[in-house]
């Protein structure tokens, strides 16, 4: 009996074939691929940290955070490193973008999820996703050569470079992201809940605004936050259309400079390695990184904390 | 829309009702009259058109683009498929409870107050009263009165279903449609809801789909047997179960098919 069963088992014993070796190597290979991106990210953060720390040995952190004058690229006697104007510029553009993108994005999502018939949705949703893939330099030129001239027919005194034109176009750029993510969140609301509301005599609009939007609110807000975090990090459009004038202002018709467009300006100019202006690139980069990181954490927190159980 | 003074003793009269999903006919020349303050059970094998019939009564079928409807359904001498009918007003009068409990992801209070609020009630005191009355009518008040602010999704399945009933009652409908309201529930919750239906019948007219023939026998005054889109037989419940006229009804209730 015993012999017999062992003999049978033997047929299932592993054989070390070439195929098997190959099979066992695949997970290691895949792990290595995954590590590449993790290590790269760590490397970036590491460099950012190192250069930022070295920058703050030369410039006081307090002056950086509270200063209202940013002249990093001037000669050394006139240099001033108050980051607030860059933050103000960034927030101004982001605020304008939010005013454009949130209502339009949400309205598009409501239309797609609640009103559009399935055929329309099948066509429009992929188009939205294609829009999300348009290179931002295209949007930048759109801002400079179309939106700005258009705005200047209404406000003839406005300069060629201004925050509002860039902000509007950044907003247009993030509409697809907000619409698409909000639509996902709204489509995830079960049909049975909508039916309950219809069966009580709610109109389509009441169902959309008073049932579906509240039920999908966590996903919708997360989409806003993600969209705005992209607006904060957006570079090309603001570099092309918003100007390069660091300024503490809330006037959207002014020319301003954002954190990102400062980095472009500084990185494309020639500043000797190790100079303070060079270090400023990293300090601003770090500031930007902290902003977008916080926004992303906020988005995650919101969608987890307020997640609906249906 | 619906006058109190009614000429016929029937709340609902269905005449020659056909319902099509695209080319497929789901209901064929249905005739039925339903009296006030009765419980009518709809029975029949799966796919015979019970839900379709129920959803014709509050025009929920309208939301499916392929649906086509012929014939007339009269409530208080008005054809609900007439062009002049306000569908939202109709659905306010004809409430519906679904197979699976489907509370809104809101608090218990907000679930019940939802309908009145949508229909314009803002006064907090009035809303409080409606919520309490509806929850009492749905035999849920004692279980939830101390946690009205809790999320409805945290209730048990049976409690959720009674909450859905309370939510429907809060709109003060005249007719309540129920599509297999206990099929997702345990026997104790089912018994509670059956008891509740007996209570509710005094104020409302109830039309209930059920797959459970004992349930139909226990709770309904009249029973309608559907088979492949046809209304085979409709009669007083005890007659239909003890003395069916149609052979197909007898086959079904004795379990010979379906
Ligand atoms: N949305 C729809 N589109 C197309 N056909 C449908 C649709 N809904 C129902 N039908 C068809 O209509 C017929 C009746 O369906 P209905 O849902 O009314 O049956 P039912 O008696 O409620 O069945 P069950 O007991 O399984 O709930 C079935 O043949 C079904 O396939
Ligand atoms: Mg059904």
A116-130, A295-309, B10-24: which has the highest mean pLDDT? B10-24
* B246, two tokens: 């149609």
Assess whether pLDDT exceeds 90 at residue A11.
no
For A227-238, how does the pLDDT look when each residue is reduced to its tens digit (9 = 90+)? 999 999 999 999
Structural domain count, chain B: 1
Q: Strands B175-179, B39-43: parallel, antiparallel or unpaired by DSSP?
A: unpaired
Is residue B197 included in any domain, yes or no? yes
State whether residue B55 sits within 8 Å of chain A by CB: no
Is residue B114 included in any domain, yes or no? yes
Residue whose token pair is 């012999």? A3
Please report the pLDDT score of residue B3 as a whole number. Answer: 47
* Closest-lying ligand 1 atom to the alpha carbon of residue B48: 21
Domain containing B127 equals 4-253
Is residue B258 included in any domain, yes or no? no
* B243, two tokens: 């003395």
- Taking the CA of residue B250 and the nearest CA in chain A, the distance in Å comes to 34
| Distance in angstroms (rounded) separating the CA atoms of residues B229 and B86 | 27
DSSP string, B170-198: HT--SEEEEESTTTTS-HHHHHHHHHHHH
Is residue B186 included in any domain, yes or no? yes
Measured in angstroms, how far is the CA atom of residue B49 from the centroid of ligand 1? 6
- CB distance A192–B102 less than 8 Å? yes
* Distant-in-sequence contacts of A295-298, Cβ < 8 A, 24+ apart: A295/A225, A295/A226, A295/A228, A295/A229, A295/A232, A296/A225, A296/A226, A296/A229, A298/A225
- CB distance B98–A310 less than 8 Å? no
- Out of B47, B62, B184, mutate this one to test ligand 1's pocket (max ligand atoms within 8 Å of CB): namely B47
- CB distance A200–B100 less than 8 Å? no
Residue whose token pair is 């249905």? B30
| B220-239: average pLDDT | 94
Residue with CA nearest ligand 1 atom 7? B21
Please report the pLDDT score of residue A79 as a whole number. Answer: 87
| Distance in angstroms (rounded) separating the CA atoms of residues A161 and A233 | 19
Please report the pLDDT score of residue B257 as a whole number. Answer: 64
What pTM did the predictor assign?
A: 0.83
Q: Nearest 5°: phi and psi at B224?
A: -120, 130
Please report the pLDDT score of residue A237 as a whole number. Answer: 94
| Distance in angstroms (rounded) separating the CA atoms of residues A274 and A286 | 17
ipTM: 0.90
Burial of A16 (0-12, 13-18, 19+ CB in 10 A): exposed
State whether residue B168 sits within 8 Å of chain A by CB: yes
- Taking the CA of residue B64 and the nearest CA in chain A, the distance in Å comes to 11
Alpha-helical (H) ranges within A132-216 are 136-142, 148-154, 163-187, 191-199, 204-206, 213-215
| Distance in angstroms (rounded) separating the CA atoms of residues B215 and B237 | 11
* Closest-lying ligand 1 atom to the alpha carbon of residue B226: 21
Q: Which chain A residues are closer than 8 Å to B88 by Cβ?
A: 201-203
B113, closest residue in chain A (CA to CA): A200
Which of A265-274, B9-18, B155-164 has the weakest average pLDDT?
A: A265-274
* Closest partner CB to A210 (pick from B96, B118, B168): B118
Residue whose token pair is 């002249």? A71
| Distance in angstroms (rounded) separating the CA atoms of residues A282 and A54 | 10
- Out of B50, B65, B231, mutate this one to test ligand 1's pocket (max ligand atoms within 8 Å of CB): namely B50
Measured in angstroms, how far is the CA atom of residue A193 from the centroid of ligand 2? 17
Q: Which chain B residues are closer than 8 Å to A190 by Cβ?
A: 102
In 3D, which of A88, A54, A83 has the Cα closest to residue A163? A88
* Ligand that lies nearest to the alpha carbon of residue B50, given by its number in the listed order: 1
* Ligand that lies nearest to the alpha carbon of residue B226, given by its number in the listed order: 1
Is residue B198 included in any domain, yes or no? yes
The helix or strand, by DSSP H or E, that contains position A79, with its residue range, turns out to be none
- The domain spanning residue B169 has which CATH number? 3.40.50.300
For B169-205, how does the pLDDT look when each residue is reduced to its tens digit (9 = 90+)? 999 999 999 999 998 888 988 998 999 999 899 999 9
Q: Could you tell me which residues come within 8 angstroms of residue B43 by beta carbon, excluding any fewer than 6 positions away?
A: B50, B209, B210, B211, B213, B216, B223, B224, B225, B226, B252
- CB distance A201–B115 less than 8 Å? yes
Q: Which chain B residues are closer than 8 Å to A193 by Cβ?
A: 102, 104-105
For B160-172, how does the pLDDT look when each residue is reduced to its tens digit (9 = 90+)? 999 999 999 999 9
Please report the pLDDT score of residue B2 as a whole number. Answer: 47
* Closest-lying ligand 1 atom to the alpha carbon of residue B53: 18
- Specify the fold of A77-305: MetI-like fold (1.10.3720)
Is residue B22 included in any domain, yes or no? yes
Where residue A31 falls among pLDDT bands split at 50, 70, 90?
very high
| Distance in angstroms (rounded) separating the CA atoms of residues A11 and A193 | 56
What is residue B66's three-state secondary structure?
coil
Please report the pLDDT score of residue B7 as a whole number. Answer: 53
For A267-308, how does the pLDDT look when each residue is reduced to its tens digit (9 = 90+)? 888 777 778 888 999 999 999 999 999 998 998 888 887 776
Which of A82-86, A129-133, B24-28, B88-92 has the weakest average pLDDT?
A: A129-133
A202, closest residue in chain B (CA to CA): B88
Please report the pLDDT score of residue A128 as a whole number. Answer: 86
Map out the domains of chain A as residue ranges.
14-58, 77-305
């Amino acid at each position: 009996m015993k012999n017999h069963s062992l003999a049978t088992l033997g047929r299932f014993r592993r054989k070390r074939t070439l195929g098997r070796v190959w099979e066992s190597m695949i997970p290691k290979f895949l792990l290595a691929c995954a590590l590449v991106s993790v290590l790269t990210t760590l490397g970036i953060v590491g460099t950012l940290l190192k250069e930022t720390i070295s920058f703050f040995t030369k410039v006081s952190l307090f002056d950086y955070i509270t200063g209202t004058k940013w002249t990093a690229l001037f000669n050394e006697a006139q240099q001033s490193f108050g980051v607030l104007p860059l933050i103000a510029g960034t927030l101004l553009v982001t605020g304008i973008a939010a005013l454009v993108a949130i209502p339009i994005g949400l309205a598009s999502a409501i239309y797609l999820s609640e009103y559009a018939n399935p055929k329309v949705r099948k066509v429009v949703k992929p188009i939205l996703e294609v829009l999300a893939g348009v290179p931002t330099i295209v949007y930048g030129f759109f801002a400079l050569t179309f939106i700005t001239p258009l705005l200047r027919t209404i406000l003839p005194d406005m300069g060629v470079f201004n925050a509002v034109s860039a902000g509007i176009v950044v907003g247009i750029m993030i509409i697809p992201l907000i619409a698409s993510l909000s639509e996902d969140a709204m489509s995830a609301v079960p049909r049975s809940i909508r039916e309950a509301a219809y069966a009580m005599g709610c109109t389509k609009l009441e169902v959309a605004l008073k049932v579906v939007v509240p039920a999908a609110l966590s996903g919708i807000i997360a989409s806003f936050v993600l969209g705005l975090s992209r607006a904060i990090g957006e570079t090309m459009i603001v570099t092309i259309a918003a100007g390069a004038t660091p300024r503490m202002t809330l006037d959207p018709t002014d020319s301003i400079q954002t954190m990102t467009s400062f980095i472009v300006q500084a990185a494309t100019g020639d500043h000797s390695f190790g100079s303070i202006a060079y270090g400023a690139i990293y300090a601003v980069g770090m500031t930007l990184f902290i902003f977008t990181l916080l926004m992303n954490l906020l988005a995650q927190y919101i969608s987890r904390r307020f997640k609906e159980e249906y | 829309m619906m006058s109190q003074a009614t000429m016929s003793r029937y709340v609902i009269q269905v005449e020659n009702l056909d319902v099509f999903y695209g080319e497929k006919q789901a209901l064929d020349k249905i005739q039925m009259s339903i009296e006030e303050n009765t419980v009518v059970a709809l029975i029949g094998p799966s796919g015979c058109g019970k839900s379709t019939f129920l959803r014709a009564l509050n025009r929920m079928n309208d939301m499916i683009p392929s649906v086509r409807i012929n014939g007339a359904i009269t409530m208080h001498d008005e054809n609900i498929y007439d062009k002049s009918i306000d569908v939202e007003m109709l659905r306010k009068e004809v409430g519906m409870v679904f197979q699976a409990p489907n509370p809104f992801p809101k608090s218990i209070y907000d679930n019940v107050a939802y309908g009145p609020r949508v229909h314009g009630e803002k006064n907090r005191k009035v809303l409080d009263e409606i919520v309490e009355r509806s929850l009492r009518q749905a035999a849920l008040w004692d279980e939830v009165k101390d946690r009205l602010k809790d999320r409805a999704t945290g209730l048990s399945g049976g409690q959720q279903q009674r909450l859905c009933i309370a939510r429907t009652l809060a709109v003060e409908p005249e007719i309540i449609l129920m599509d297999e309201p206990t099929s997702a529930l345990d026997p104790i919750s089912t018994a509670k809801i059956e008891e509740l239906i007996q209570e509710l019948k005094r104020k409302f007219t109830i039309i209930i789909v059920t797959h459970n023939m004992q349930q139909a026998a226990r709770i309904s005054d009249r029973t309608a047997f559907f088979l492949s889109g046809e209304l085979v037989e409709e009669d007083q419940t005890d007659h239909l179960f003890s003395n069916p006229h149609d052979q197909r009804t007898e086959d079904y209730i004795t379990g010979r098919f379906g």
